[in-house]
Amino acid sequence: MQAWTGGRVDARPWQRIPERMNSLGLTAEDGMAQVWFVDAAGRLSGGAAAVNEALRLVWWARPLTWLYHLPGVPRLEDRLYRWIAANRNHLPGGTAACRIEPAADQVKHYSGEDMPATGK
pLDDT for residue 108 is more than 90:
no
pLDDT, tens only, 18-60: 888 899 999 998 988 899 999 889 899 999 999 999 999 999 9
Please, are residues 41 and 50 in contact by the beta-carbon 8 Å criterion? no
What is the C-alpha separation between 43 and 35, in angstroms, rounded? 14
> What percentage of the chain exceeds 70 in pLDDT?
75
What is the C-alpha separation between 92 and 90, in angstroms, rounded? 7
Identify which has the larger pLDDT, 107 or 32: 32
pLDDT, tens only, 62-103: 999 999 999 999 999 999 999 988 887 777 765 565 555 554
